[in-house]
Amino acid sequence: MFSRIVTHIRKHVSISAEEEAILTSALELRDIKKKEFLLEAGEVCRENYFINQGCFRLYLITPKGNEQVIQFGIEDWWITEYFSLKTGAPSQYYLQATENAEVVVLKRHLEDELFARIPQLERYFRLVLEKAYSAQLNRIHYIFNLTGEEQYRMMSQKYPEFVQRIPQYMLASFLGITPEFLSMLRSKKD
């Protein structure tokens, strides 16, 4: 039931069988339908999600009423809205499944107790967050230094299965281009 998350944790840190039992007793497994929200703007985020199966997007609605995708999450990734999760402030973002999914839920109110009982877990989350932060910095670099076409070409080369998996309008939003321009890029021969 929780083998995927335990395997992921053990790729980064060592935990004992006893610590695994403590951890898994605090987790919840949840099935999510395509287009279902884990979080909507105005709500306070109270959970962190490890993606067992499926794909999610974190997005906001711009003042002009457009959806702006900030982040995607797929299998073996964590996804949440950290500012709201850590501060208790209402979120400005939506967290939605882009396909049927299964997540492992870690409730915020259990985190500190788990970190105290399983010190390696705190290290694990630090390593995961460092990697996620680095990825976000790279994304910001690409936004400012690459054209939409260059970003699309790079993503297509590095993550071809991911690019094919995401609906075109969501990928266009993530890249900061129109769906029509993305369609034109996809139809071009390399």
Q: Is the pLDDT of residue 63 over 70?
A: yes
pLDDT tens for each residue of 39-48: 999 999 999 9
Q: Does residue 167 fall inside a structural domain?
A: no
The count of C-alpha atoms lying within 13 angstroms of the C-alpha of 180, restricted to the half-sphere facing its C-beta, is 0
In a domain, 73, yes or no: yes
Tally the domains of the chain. Answer: 1
Q: What is the pLDDT of residues 98-144, one digit of tens each?
A: 999 999 999 999 999 999 999 999 999 999 999 999 999 999 999 99
Banded pLDDT at 189 (limits 50, 70, 90): low
CATH of the domain at 72: 2.60.120.10
Range of the domain at 46: 3-118
Residue 149 lies in a domain: no
Secondary structure percentages of the chain, helix, strand, coil, to 5: 50, 25, 25
pLDDT: which is higher, 121 or 164? 121
Q: Which residues of 142-162 are buried (b: 16+ CB within 10 A; e: fewer)?
A: beeeeebeebbeebbeeeeee
Mind listing the pLDDT tens digit for each residue in 66-107? 999 999 999 999 999 999 999 999 999 999 999 999 999 999
CA angle, corner 128, sides to 124 and 133, nearest 5? Answer: 145
What is the pTM assigned to this prediction? 0.92
Number of H helices, E strands in the chain: 9, 8
Confirm whether 53 is domain-assigned. Answer: yes
Per-residue pLDDT, 186 = 86
pLDDT digits (tens, 9 = 90+) for 139-157: 999 999 999 899 999 999 9
